[in-house]
Structure 1
Amino acid sequence: MFTKSLFLLLLLFLSCYTSFSTLFNPPDNYLISCGSSQNITHQGRTFVPDSLHSSLVLKTGNSSIATNSNSTTNSIYQTARVFSGLASYRFKIKSLGRHWIRLHFSPIKNSTWNLTSASISVVTEDFVLLNNFSFKNSNASYIFKEYTVNVTSDFLILTFIPSNDSVVFINAIEVVSVPDNLIPDQALALNPSSPFTGLSQLAFETVYRLNMGGPLLTSQNDTLGRQWDNDAEYLHVNSSVLVVTANPSSIKYSSSVTQETAPNMVYATADTMGEANVASPNFNVTWVLPVDPEFRYFVRVHFCDIVSQGLNSLVFNLYVNDDLALGSLDLSTLTNGLKVPYFKDFVSNGSVESSGVLTVSVGPDSQADITNATMNGLEVLKISNEAKSLSGVSSVKSLIPGGSGSKGKKKAVVIGSLVGAVAVVLLIAVCCYCCLAASRKQRSTSPQEGGNGHPWLPLPLYGLSQTLTKSTASHKSATGSCISLASTHLGRCFMFQEIMDATNKFDESLLLGVGGFGRVYKGTLEDGTKVAVKRGNPRSEQGMAEFRTEIEMLSKLRHRHLVSLIGYCDERSEMILVYEYMANGPLRSHLYGADLPPLPWKQRLEICIGAARGLHYLHTGASQSIIHRDVKTTNILLDENLVAKVADFGLSKTGPSLDQTHVSTAVKGSFGYLDPEYFRRQQLTEKSDVYSFGVVLMEVLCCRPALNPVLPREQVNIAEWAMAWQKKGLLDQIMDSNLTGKVNPASLKKFGETAEKCLAEYGVDRPSMGDVLWNLEYALQLEETSSALMEPDDNSTNHIPGIPMAPMEPFDNSMSIIDRGGGGVGGNSGTGTDDDAEDATTSAVFSQLVHPRGR
């Protein structure tokens, strides 16, 4: 009996020992304190000085140590190693495979260097981790960067590169082995849905690692030393979630999901729908994550059903951006139980929305008995690009002085010279042949011979009696198919070489902006005309859709407050549109984020009025209304005279017909400006633009972003924050300090009331753009004649003596089709007669408001 009991105790001991021994013990575990003279304990781990580590080699021409003499704590941020030239750390690797590289930076204040303005670049032998990062534009006291790199040699070399006449510094470094099965080689790519393989050959940067509903977790709570942040500041609507918790010890790990996947404290907390069984079945819980739109992202979503009381009761959907990632997700069926962790990996394929955010949402399945959804954790990792970079488009070779691969350099020069000579001869021959073929093809597609074919635009254009379709010839030729669009009033057909010359071969120094559609460059035509050149990305489905939409809209719209299309180029399967150049750029750059002088109040009102006129025309000027769907300060551009024009119609959509109240459509737009009713119900009306314009008005007044996650929670969303002050009658307390004492209170009150009405929760309570325009011009008149006016109580013009009102005229629907007689190229020439006359015939204060449909 005693022997049997002893045997059982031994088995229990062995099982306990086995469970503890399964915790991952990293073969490589470098925790380095740079510049320190002694060991430092940080979050329960010991960091060793870089000068004392036996398996670490520091190679540098000149390095110094910066010390924070004011600090009383023994922290890894108390010292820093400062390099004035190229320097590197070489780590001996015991076990090949993925490794975490964690870099800690804090610009220590000292009399020798200004580390705040130091430009930091860090590379491995293959990947660029950081390129020209600086604390200059950051309020953070320290920065922590985490990367994941597959090490395939016996040494890992981290090289620190200072910029010209600057230094580079580092406070602490971690190089730690990653469990082999933590990151797979394959994940599901979205849009289009297909397997994405080869992840093991790429590098990652951790952008977000969130603990839904739970507290901050550090290396003291995570056996792999990871940090998990609380998710609250990234929720689109904070009130939309209800936090649910469970005992961490109740989490039941499986063979496929272990504690290395995520700590049990992540799976023991969750965000669920705070308004379960709401009226709208399309209600989703959404996290909005600002990202760099030029990169792909690895997205890992963690689930654990700690909500349900029984199996098969919780069924919901998961969305990444606009894509359905998982439909009818039943966790208990997948895991065969409750409180059993589960995760799923995705790759957000290609550029995300032009607003530069990645969204992840959960929402109830329409067939589910219970309306609820949940999420426990979320990881978002940036994926290295084709240049093997996680920061910009420069490669390691281009960043390191002298480049890499110096071995055999002389031999390479000799071989390269010979190969180059042969290549030049072949290139000349090919060019001659191509030029000859191009000239022949151009003659064969002359107007007399009726050439046609357009390789990327098989859609009907307004004002034509037939639909243009692809021809077989267009697939065989990369040369001009200009004639096929000559009668579509898209403007001038540019040759690709003309575009190349205008943009200096798409010089990056001329880059104006980047979005899901592609890139926008500043260009100069042969006659000196400045233009904006939008070059579409043919690999982006979103870009193609936006281009098609923009062409549909611009082919039937012309207005002095809408950015005009000058022409296009479709050679070589390119998707290029040429617009009038707006010399003063986006409105946002005149409000914040750029070193530009502040706009006076009157100028701000005039800009808002111009944008409102453009939107009012969209809503009422065509035979069927057009909803912009992406109204924001970056899509309101200013010309050389600071006249506002609405731009970027890539997300625009035709409004409801006379017998409809709304258009049902998938939610698109920019978070911070998005109409909450449209977001909840997926029902689009002109009032969605009105809400977005209300956000713009608050942005113009307060000079801060629509969303700023760095601020306290109640200040993150400008619409909610400013509305709270407006309702208290204290809007002047949060307006731009440059306007203090320079705004007539009556004008400010009218402006605030207008913005408040625009931001009403329900569209039915919001004014039309015509009413918004009326009130803004009233606010401008109050500002201009402030000494003679009393504070207004309503929208009536009776308070403004001496303002002549133009006679009422019927609305002219002919403005919906551009003047076929105009052939001018540029902002308003040739096609601006209708709207110019319209503005001229109305009063200076209430232009465009005399039309019955405008009210």
Structure 2
Amino acid sequence: MALRSVHIFAILLLCFIQTQCEKTFIPTDNYLIRCGAASPTELTDGRTFQTEENSASVRRSSPGQAVTASASSNVGSALYITARVFTSRVFYEFNIKKQGEHWVRLYFYPISNNTHNLKSAVFSVTTDKFFLLSSFSFKNRGGNIYLLKEYIINVDSNNLRIIFSPANNSLAFINAIEVVSLPDDLVPEKAQAIRPLEIGDLNGLSMETVYRINMGGPQLGSKDDALFRTWESDRKYLDVESAAKNVSTEPRFINYPQVFGYEIAPPKVYATAEEMGDAVTVNPNFNISWSFSVDPHFNYFVRMHFCDFLSKTQYQMYFNAYVNHQSALMDFDITGKTGGLSIPIYRDFVVNGSKELRIAVGPSNTQLGTVNAILNGLEVMKMSNAMGSLDGLNGVDGVAPLESKRKMKELFPIVGFVAGASAFLGLLAAGYCFFSRTKGESKHSPSAWLPLPLHGGNSETMASKVSTGSHKSGTGSYVSSAPSSLGRFFTFAEIQEATNNFDEHLIIGVGGFGKVYKGELEDGTKVAVKRGNPRSEQGLTEFQTEIEMLSKLRHRHLVSLIGYCEERCEMILVYEFMANGPLRSHLYGLDLPHLSWKQRLEICIGAAKGLHYLHTGAAQGIIHRDVKTTNILLDENLLAKVADFGLSKTGPTLEQTHVSTAVKGSFGYLDPEYFRRQQLTEKSDVYSFGVVLMEVLCARPAINPALPREQVNIAEWAMHWQKRGMLDQIIDPHLVGTINPESLRKFGETAEKCLAEQGIDRPAMGDVLWNLEYALQLQETSMQNDPDENSTNRIGHIPLHFSHPEPCDNSIVDRVSERGSDRELEDTTTSAVFSQLVNPRGR
């Protein structure tokens, strides 16, 4: 009897030890929050969920309203008894101690109460960088009324915000939230790509758990998993149930390798499997297959779990695995990879989306070993798309995917007609250019350009057919007097003469459109000549946009377009010459004199004035769409002017909030909200300008892949220090000791506001200008006793005197902008540049 008691005790002790070993991972960040609760809640799996108020490291931006389920409600879990309800946008902010991948689990249950109808609530959920739920609602969810959404989010800052945004006239709610750090090696950086994908890169992506399957075994709850995951049974996903047979062993017989532990998957997953239904007599071409419904607009991370506890010896079972009918593993021998029996192993894959994800295993074509195949577990996770979204294609407030598809179908006939008409006109124009070239018009003419239809066709014929008032210039080429609103039309011969036949020694820059040459017109005016490259990604649209935009824009802080040439299928733009070139050249990369802090502020103010004029000077405003340090040029006095309007777009009307358009711009400066939602606003320029501000302060590129990972993106890196109040730690070493601390503080705050994740949180350019003017005044005040620091290149800003560091009256900004714009417009009318525009020969 005593011996039997000892035996029972030993078995219980072994079970206890194994249970404890299965949950050895202790997360650094472990936030378990039950929303709307008055006291902590302990679950059956051993975890305790705290109230929102009990966690000092969690902040809620709005109190919201706590609701509780009635006593008669049949609520399946204590986490669903309470909820927090919001009628406006709100966020939970979590202090992150260890950066890296984190679980984010969100619990939803529409509690019935007399105050709110949570079943009809429509809302979106985002983090700082990713869209998790878009226009989510329980309206059409049928009987599936409890919902747990599980995500893996890579947190690369000291805090994580989870944002709940109700739709118009609706509300948002949440029952419980988990934010828990993951083991370092749980998510790989890369995985094997399944055709047609070629790259399986997982860096920087978020993922959502779609399926987690225990093959051949029962459903497993959070108490069975070291990371509190749930695993469902596979039987309902089998294409043919009789094709598979459940097999199992005792979990205690599973021998984990040293390379990973219970965090990858629990022993109960590896202790069960599906094998072939009749492994002895089955046709060798027969497979076990499972089908899973997925969203075709996303790629998926797939993890297969294997453990061979069936074979009697090593090297006995060889089989193949398939993903979407593509070979994933061929002649795979589990024991050959693990070095023994009953040792777990897993393999990762990345596959592109389709309506259905099919997973299959089947026997190898080799004659080795037994004819069999197994699979123990499967995980399928949706990967965020290029817009940072895990739900929908148009962002949080965009068109729902189904509605988007419907609208696309309606547009197909229109698009087809327009495309056909455009192709026909393009062929006609191309034929015309080809015909012109065959008559020997120019051996230098690029073959890929089409004539810009600003004057109705090729310019040489246009001079005689359209413009009856044309006459010969001093160079012997025609000067058109037609359409004066678009600036001066230059003949190709004039451009050749101005640039010494495109002398390579006169190249002053190379951009996406083509090479830029320094030139001189017949009256001695210095110009910059941008000659289009027919192999460039930028073409006719950008050329026409540049001309049309700049022909109606006149401002001291915008580079002026003097004219253009579209002769001989060339596309050439002629600008005023900016002697000191792009701002970037004065910050890094070239051995030029270093700019003082005051000079840098004056340059930023000049650029801000130019952008402010763009946004407010026209009826609808103009969005630049490519604000960067290479598009801010400096004249001989370091006066800043915004340049390159090839990607510019007319802003939204009064009835619109944005312009829907394809994403264009420069990597490192792109507004993340515009990138995700393809919805362009003036605030997209504000974000790009925020990157410019940090580039000016730190004197380094916006993106530098040679730096450590956390420093690659200047916006993220600078914000990391700005939020810690230590921006002075990363400034340009040449500025150390020269910046007034208050000026730097105001500058940093301004840049931080510009770089806000959501456009609605960013200031208008007028407010940015106001704050930069104030930062300059703070710097000038500190320099009054140090005349050596005064810049000789000071631009004419308006002296302001403030009694409070923050603007409290928007009319001040308006008055400053109006007076500044009026004075600057007067300046432009007398410049040498604009003498070209009023010259009758240029019309």
Q: Give TM-score scaled by structure 1 length.
A: 0.44
Work out which of the two has the higher radius of gyration on C-alpha atoms and give 1 or 2.
2
Q: Give TM-score scaled by structure 2 length.
A: 0.45
